[in-house]
Amino acid sequence: MNNDASWERRTFVALNYAVMALVAVACLLPIVNVLALSLSSSAAAGSGQVKLWPVGFNLKSYEFVLGKPEFGRAFTVSLLRVAVGVPLNMLLTILVAYPLSKERKDFRFRWAYAWYFVTTMLFSGGLIPWYMTIKMTGIIDSFWALILPGAVPVMNVILLLNFFKSLPDEIEEAGLMDGAGRWQALWRIAVPLSAPAIATLTLFCIVNHWNSWFEGLILMNRPEHYPLQSYLQTVIVNRDMSLMSAVDVTKWSMISDRTSRAAQVIVALLPVLFVYPFLQKYFAHGIVMGSVKG
Amino acid sequence: MRRKQGGELPFHLMLIPGVVLVFIYSYIPMAGIVMAFKRLVPSKGMFGSPWVGWHNFEYMMHMPEISGVIWNTAFIAVMKMTAGVLVPVTFALMLNEARSRLFKRSVQTIIYFPHFLSWIILSGLLIDILSPSTGIVNELLRALGLKEIYFLGDPRWFPYTMVLSDTWKEFGYGTIVYLAALTGINPALYEAAALDGAGRLRQTLYVTLPGLLPMIVLMSVLSLGNVLNAGFEQIFNLYSPQVYRTGDIIDTLVFRIGLENANYGVATAVGLFKSVVSFGLIGASYVLAYRWTNYRIF
Amino acid sequence: MKRQLFTAILLPLALVSALAACSGNNGNNGNAEDHGASGSASASAGSAAASGEADATADPLGKYDPPIEVSAVRAISEGTKFGEGESIDNNVWSRAYADQLGIKINYLWTTPAAQYDQKLNIAIASNDLPDIMSVNAAQLKRLVDDGQVMDLTDVYGKYGSELTKKLLSEDGGNALKSGTFNGKMYGIPKMSSGLGQADVLWVRTDWLQKLGLSEPKSMDDVQKIAEAFVKQDPDGNGKPDTYGLGATKDIFGFFGALEGFFNGYHAYPNIWVKAGDGKLAYGSVQPETKAALQKLQEMYKGGLIDKEFGTKDATKVKDAANASKLGLFYGYFWNAGWLLDGKKTNPAMEWKPIALPSVDAQPALAQVPFAISTYYVVKKDAKNPEAAVKLLNFDLEKLWGKSAEPEVYNADKSGNAVFEYALLYGEAPRKNLDAHLNVVKALEANDPAALNAEEKSYYDKIVSYRGGDVNFWDSEKMYGPEGSLAVIEGYAKDGAHTDDAFYGAPTQGMTDNNATLSKLQLEAFTRIMMGGSIDEFEQFVSQWNSLGGKAITEEVNAWQASQ
């Protein structure tokens, strides 16, 4: 690391930081705009005056959003969904990815299983059969409708199986020689060694459960059962104003309120912001190799 | 001698729960693919509905300008796929060079932000930011002495605008994957390279990049599955009649047909068409990747 | 033809309801008890699709004893509030249904309004229907074609109350006809007003004054005002940052929509109009439309329309208006509500809704789409189809009838819009116009005593606005003496409107080709407006015809001949 002193190196480092900082700013600005909107007066927001700084600063929209019973209810559903759905996702991902990461000589049927799962990424029967199947299994309008149909995230399985594959064979071989079974090899060796990958996939699962709104709208029979993003969708989505009658106008002024929509977006974003830094601990470099050497 | 404990039985056991769930919630609904060859009469049910042969496909293929629409879709999708691999890899490498942990972590977090904003919200912002007269991007262009660009209203620019804004929104996700892959590279390799006198750049080229290659190949192959998905939500919220020529894609077209007539037959037929194309591409590249690199991606 | 249908179907119905009305006079609670037994008797008779025309026992508001349960699905508008401990299953309406009609409604699902169509489409496709649901015209047609819904002709004839029948035929019978297929009534129209979807011209009067201009009386004035608003810096900030005439990327719509502009040239895009030969023709392909497009092109070239209108939706145009960048646009009467934010930030801002100016001496006629977009239907094998009609009778009676109790059923003490909880709904096509007239009268007399609850709320708001509360400025602009409804009332009084002449179910050609045709039209109109050759219009017309428009025109004329 002592060759870093050359001026090329320093220019490169400076440029590198500068470019990354610029990109980060570009990614941050929209959030800043939404944040500013959420803190502005509704009249200022409704006449397009708010850019990056609140106009007519106030916290009313947060009081409004957090005070709504629907919001709290939907928030709870989403938290529960993450709490149950993510561990289940991860358990199944690991259980499926591990056998599929084996070579053909160790697991003769791996190709059949692999294509069995990959096919589902490519072919689907469409919305109606999907809905009818879920209805048939009796979980429509229940919490499980948000959990079970997507319980095996095939994309994540493929990512994880590639991480498993990249693990040095010797460690596992050694373990098996010591008399450990397949199950022990999985839980005691493969999983701990893939901590960064598992942390990453956990993040994806959390985000996926937290962000998805479509299933909630279709599979729940009552708005009270919606998870947070489904509920948000109903307040954010552009409404077809052409069908409005005069009586809707008064209601319209309430739901059109951009500031509270912005506040809802910000509030929905917060939990993920809390989780991310925590998971980042596991993204750290060199966990795998450290243990190889040890 | 190398007979291991347990044999293959534990593998089958591990797979059972996943196989069962996928069978129920993915394979049973796949029976609905027959709708591509039927006209749905709800009272008769999916299987009792009359067969119409290839009619649904013909309806689609006889839409005026369908070839243009398919071309737009593939053009936008392929560019998105390319950018979707290049940008995250580059950015992951750049982040890898950053020494400050705080900076690294903050940037990593921040670039994931746009992923959380829906296109409905972003479209309103983009229309402002990209406006030729008042948008900040064009003000910058003017300051640099360039002509302003009507990013969302000029049919020549529209597809690129879609690619750029989509990449901006989603590259944080890809970057995280590659960063995770970076952790799998053996540090001993770097040490050896350093001993051989390789500088940072050459270490990156000869150690880091090859180390990432399997993941790059994997992500590229998987993205082929999207060759006919150009991003409905994004384009639907951003396109307008003046850019239909280059911006109308299969999904927006199907959506507009659906508005007039909830025609499940046609929608299923289009879905099946897309699936078959993706399946062909992924299958072919799976085989090619195995031939060239001797690596099975799944 | 229309007359014939009226006498054939509606007259007998009127007789029935006259009989029924006699028993209805006992007052509601008494009525429910007195006729409990006969109500249930008639219920069973009704479910057997009784053949008797004037069955005296058919009581429009009779109570079921023992109570029955019907299933339903519904949208709940965003923003609907319930009182403490109440829900859609337990509120003033659901209790009234149970107590007074003996009907318990079991909602299979409810959904926010924006999601209703999608969820209903899934329910229809998977044949998983409730007894009662509301559907749009395309869904109605599919359900009828597939035989998933019930013929309600008899049930409506027998159980429809006098008020219901009066309200549903108030538009001259077209609403009922639109829900009728081969002489059988499958869809009960949800009554509303088509005139509410006619354009007025919204103009910034404080800008007019500042620039010394008078209100627009002709299309030339519209152009002149647009030009002045662009070039003479009406907002006085020294920057050329104002637009002339508002337009959106959809060209047509409800805010910054150009229908009103086309109407000024006697063109009626997107609706069917009677041509000189008595046949129906599509307004978009008529020569008048070309003339209007040519003018729009000229205005666009002259910078009188936002150069970037092609990427902006109604919300963006609204923002421009509220930010004092736009002072002239066409839109619906309720657009005042969208201008309120601007008024609040800039109290000097003043808008006035104006009747559509015309290009020549002939007055402009505002185009009016067909008013009915929603129908109530009953599932094919529902046990008690008459319950739907009874519920509608009850709802209309409690909202608009003689025994209406607005303080119970319309809005409660805490201001919740409880009328939203009713399963079926309908309002007189003239409801808003009458509200406007009544409010104006009350304002003049300074006496709101004669107003109903809804009208009273408008009255109160206007009074507070006049007392200095700018939050209710929009009520003044809609219901006040110079409000947008006064303009619409003018259209109604002078017959200054052109109604969509086609109100049947979507034809086969429409379901097959409308997606293509509307894309074609939008692209062509946008291109022409933005400076393409005006001769493209002829090309558009011939393409429109060859891509299915001609066939649709034939279908529409066949429909007309069958009326």
Interface predicted TM-score (ipTM): 0.86
User: In this prediction, what percent of chain B has a pLDDT beyond 70?
Assistant: 97
Q: A135 and A162 share a domain? A: yes
pLDDT at A44: 79
Q: C358 has which bridge partners? A: C218
Closest-CA residue of C relative to B41 is: C146
Backbone angles phi, psi at C255, to 5 degrees: -140, 125
- The interface residues of chain A toward chain B in range 171-210, judged by CB-CB distance below 8 A, are 176, 179-183, 186, 196-197, 199-200, 203-204, 207
Predicted TM-score (pTM) of this structure: 0.85
- What kind and span of H or E run contains B101? helix B101-110
What is the C-alpha separation between C416 and C92, in angstroms, rounded?
11
CB C72 within 8 A of CB C130: yes
CB B215 within 8 A of CB A160: no
- C53 to C16, C377, C384, C554: CA distances (angstroms): 8, 22, 18, 37
What is the C-alpha separation between C447 and C459, in angstroms, rounded?
10
Residue spans of the domains in chain B: they are 49-293
C352: helix, coil or strand? Answer: strand
- The interface residues of chain A toward chain B in range 101-130, judged by CB-CB distance below 8 A, are 102, 106-110, 113-114, 116-126, 128-130
Contact B215 A98 (CB under 8 A): no
pLDDT at C316: 87
Closest-CA residue of A relative to B24 is: A133
Q: A32 and A70 share a domain? A: no
pLDDT at C46: 39
Residues 6+ apart with CB under 8 A from C496: C355, C356, C363, C364, C365, C366, C490
What is the C-alpha separation between C372 and C172, in angstroms, rounded?
13
- Listed as ranges, residues in chain C with pLDDT below 50 are 1-56
CB-CB: which of C76, C78, C115 is closest to A217? C115
Q: Is the pLDDT of residue A213 over 90?
A: no
* Counted domains in chain A: 2
Q: A118 and A177 share a domain? A: yes
**Biggest distance spanned by C-alpha atoms of chain B:** 76
C106: helix, coil or strand? Answer: strand
Could you tell me the pLDDT band of residue A259, with boundaries at 50, 70 and 90?
confident
Q: CB count, 10 Å around CB of C217? A: 12
Contact B42 C125 (CB under 8 A): yes
CB-CB: which of C78, C109, C342 is closest to A234? C78
Q: Hey, which CATH number is domain B49-293, 1.10.3720.10, 3.40.1500.10, 3.50.30.10, 3.40.1160.10?
A: 1.10.3720.10
Judging contacts by C-beta atoms under 8 Å, the chain A residues touching residue B113 are: 27-28, 30-31, 269
Q: A185 and A64 share a domain? A: yes
Q: For residues A48 and B230, which has the higher predicted lDDT (pLDDT)?
A: B230
Domains parsed from chain C with CATH numbers: 2-194+372-421 (3.40.190.10), 197-369+500-562 (3.40.190.10)
DSSP characters over B33-94: GGGGGB---GGGHHHHSPB-TTHHHHHHHTSTTHHHHHHHHHHHHHHHHHHHHHHHHHHHHH
CB-CB: which of A47, A132, A249 is closest to C334? A249
CB C70 within 8 A of CB C94: no
Q: Which conformational region is residue C444 in: left (phi greater than 0), alpha (psi within -120 to 50 degrees), or beta?
A: alpha
- What kind and span of H or E run contains C331? strand C328-331
Q: Is residue A53 part of a domain?
A: no
Q: CA of B94 to nearest chain A CA: how many angstroms apart? A: 7
Judging contacts by C-beta atoms under 8 Å, the chain C residues touching residue B122 are: none
Query: Residue C48: what residue type?
Result: A
Which structural domain range is residue A14 located in?
2-46
C271: helix, coil or strand? Answer: coil
What is the C-alpha separation between C24 and C34, in angstroms, rounded?
10
Judging contacts by C-beta atoms under 8 Å, the chain A residues touching residue B197 are: none
Q: A211 and A128 share a domain? A: yes
CB-CB: which of A43, A132, A221 is closest to C345? A43
Q: Which of A82-86, A102-106, A147-151 has the lowest mean pLDDT?
A: A102-106
pLDDT at C178: 93
What is the C-alpha separation between A264 and A63, in angstroms, rounded?
11
For chain C, the distance separating the N- and C-terminal CA atoms, rounded to the nearest angstrom, is: 6
Average pLDDT over every residue of A83-109 = 93
Q: A36 and A93 share a domain? A: no
State chain A's mean pLDDT as an integer.
82
What is the C-alpha separation between C347 and C357, in angstroms, rounded?
27
CB-CB: which of B25, B98, B199 is closest to A133? B25
Q: A199 and A69 share a domain? A: yes
Q: Which of A20-24, A132-136, A243-247, C123-127 has the lowest mean pLDDT?
A: A243-247
Q: A158 and A111 share a domain? A: yes
Q: CA of A31 to nearest chain C CA: how many angstroms apart? A: 20
Q: Is residue A54 part of a domain?
A: no
CB C527 within 8 A of CB B242: yes
Q: Which of A232-246, B266-280, C54-68, C113-127 has the lowest mean pLDDT?
A: A232-246
Instruction: Give the CATH number for residue A279.
Output: 1.10.3720.10
Contact B176 A203 (CB under 8 A): yes
Q: A155 and A205 share a domain? A: yes
Q: A12 and A93 share a domain? A: no
Q: A193 and A238 share a domain? A: yes
Q: Is the pLDDT of residue B24 over 80?
A: yes
Backbone angles phi, psi at B117, to 5 degrees: -95, 135
Q: Which residue has the tokens 């007052």?
A: C27
Q: Is residue A52 part of a domain?
A: no
pLDDT at A194: 87
Contact A200 B180 (CB under 8 A): yes
Q: Is residue A166 part of a domain?
A: yes
Chain C CB within 8 Å of residue B262 CB = yes
Q: Is residue A55 part of a domain?
A: no
